A and B are shown apart, each in its own frame.
Chain A
Amino acid sequence: MADANAPYRIKGETGEWEVVIGLEVHAQVVSDAKLFSGASTKFGAEPNTQVSLVDAAMPGMLPVPNRECIRQAVRTGMALEAQINRWSRFDRKNYFYADLPQGYQISQLYHPLVGEGTIHVLLDEKDEDSAKAIGIERIHVEQDAGKLMHDQHPTMSYVDLNRCGVALMEIVSKPDMRSPAEAGAYLRKLRSILRYVGSCDGNMEEGSMRADVNVSVRRPGEQFGTRTETKNVNSVRFVQAVIEHEARRQIEVLEEGGQIVQETRLWDPDKGETRTLRSKEDAHDYRYFPDPDLLPLELDEAFLDECRSSLPELPDAKRQRFERLGITPYNASVLTAEVETARWFDQLLEAGAEPKQAANWVVAELFGALNRRGETIDNAPVSPSQAAELLGLVADGTISGTIAKQVFEVMLSEGGSAAGIVEARGLKQTSDIGAIDTEIDRILAANIDKVEQYKAGKQQLFGFFVGQTMKAMQGKANPQVVNERLKAKLG
């Protein structure tokens, strides 16, 4: 594997190039009603049934902001260690498009709700030295547009305004990323934090998170080059593909003596390339101005206090806490990446499981079982308290690790408590020296040749005797006792 800390360079015809990346992520805010109207935000409804006269931009309608949307954006800002602006304002971004009946999007250009912050990423989950801080430039709140469908009619496009007016957070990074891997780590971490905070469901397939990808190239250490912006990329994999493709395209242009044009591009996932979005040529002339329908947004101390106190323990803090409990950095990373996993694991600890053992078990056994069964941890077939009981039986020596796997399989296929299964099937581990000695004597007597070889120096045969004894004891013998007794008898 390549060293995650080595700088990412692209070899061109004329030497090495560095890529500079900034991301603007549009994250749909979790709320019941829209940003400025009382219409529902629920996904998948019949077309135009979740549209108020405000969303349809009927004359005389006035926007009134939804407190929850503001609260979620502020909480997100706090989770990204960002400056919260107690005074912000809404501006109109003017453009005409069929999915935007107002003729302008209400956004925040001049005075955003949230200022500078930071996201900490690990480029290699096993290595704290691969940590990198990526700056957040700002977060502002704005309206989403409606949805256009082009494939329903030969000459017409159909417009559904259900999404029109749903609240978005636009989370703008600084141009701090230098490789596709860093951009991927940033997006995954951002998604993880949003899901912990509960301000966005992070569902990229349904479009709850989309990224505009800003890419430029330069000779290492030189000034920033001209950037292009590729719009509306909806998966981590595609974002990385856009960066690779766009960096190579720019390098080719520059090495042939050309210049990069600052422009908006589109990602074509079928062809795996970006192309110019010609129709938006003069779309950058948005003629922003403060929205006269909306007064400045002022936040008081009580509001901010509630935002702060309602934040959960965040992924970094949780990972560090898990590591302090003796859990390996890799396991701690895996267990904290998704909020559902982290919650489940915390419940397992609360139910009394030993942290290190529990972490190994969840990552190896539980994840393995969930993968096989095509299930997620939300609907895991065993509860944290059931799992804690199973792990407790191993910890106190009642059953061996091998038997624990069997018991877990039974719990998965037939249900029931670990202790009940162990009891009913007589799986208890035994330290009964008499019983163990009997089996060992029988095995040694049946394998005289191997005993000779062992005594002659073939040490690796010890494992064979252990295996035979455990098999004869149906896996229930205490392995430590078996080892001790075998050593004694083999001399």
Chain B
Amino acid sequence: MSVDTRTVRHIARLARLKMSDAEVEAMVPELNNILGWVEQLGEVDTDGVEPLTAVIDQKLRLRDDIVTDGGIRDAVLVNAPDAQHGFFAVPKVIE
């Protein structure tokens, strides 16, 4: 598997990253190197080996259904670029 400039532009767009043409060009070999490196894993024979889903041998812990959080609006909004009347305010997005 290898990527070209088109794929890089597509991924950048999905990730909302603005990239110049020069940056896109530079990114192509970088990503291909990483992919090639990861693809070496494909050489390992994994027949009959269960896929590893977590590296720690522990079960997922569940929480009781109790309200223990919230009521911290100021803390939630404090880093927002803009907040009005208790809402986050963002540039209008409408369908």
Contacts and interface: CB of A to CB of B under 8 A. Distances in A.
A99 to B, nearest CB: 9
Chain B: interface secondary structure? Answer: loop
Contact of A296 (B53, B63, B94, B95): B53
Interface stretch (B28-36, B39-47, B65-73): B65-73
Contacts of A290: 53
A64 B54 contact: no
B61 interface: yes
Interface stretch (A37-45, A134-142, A179-187): A37-45
A150 to B, nearest CB: 5
A38 B92 contact: no
B82 to A, nearest CB: 7
Contacts of B84: 153, 156, 158
Nearest to B94: A150
Contact of B69 (A39, A65, A285): A39
Contacts of A94: 14
Given A157-B89, A295-B53, A48 B76 contact: yes
Given A66-B64, A67-B63, A98-B93, 14 more contacts: A33-B68, A33-B69, A38-B70, A49-B86, A51-B72, A53-B72, A67-B64, A68-B64, A156-B89, A157-B91, A158-B90, A266-B95, A282-B14, A295-B58
A312 interface: no
Contacts, number: 138
Number of contact residues on A: which range applies? 35 or more
Contacts of A153: 84, 89, 92
A156 B82 contact: yes
Interface of B: 10, 13-14, 16, 53-54, 56, 58-73, 75-77, 82, 84-95
A161 B76 contact: yes
A94 B88 CA distance: 21
A220 to B, nearest CB: 35
Contacts of A68: 64-65
Contacts of A97: 93
A64 B53 contact: no
A206 B93 CA distance: 22
A413 interface: no
Interface in A279-296: 279, 282, 285, 287, 290, 294-296
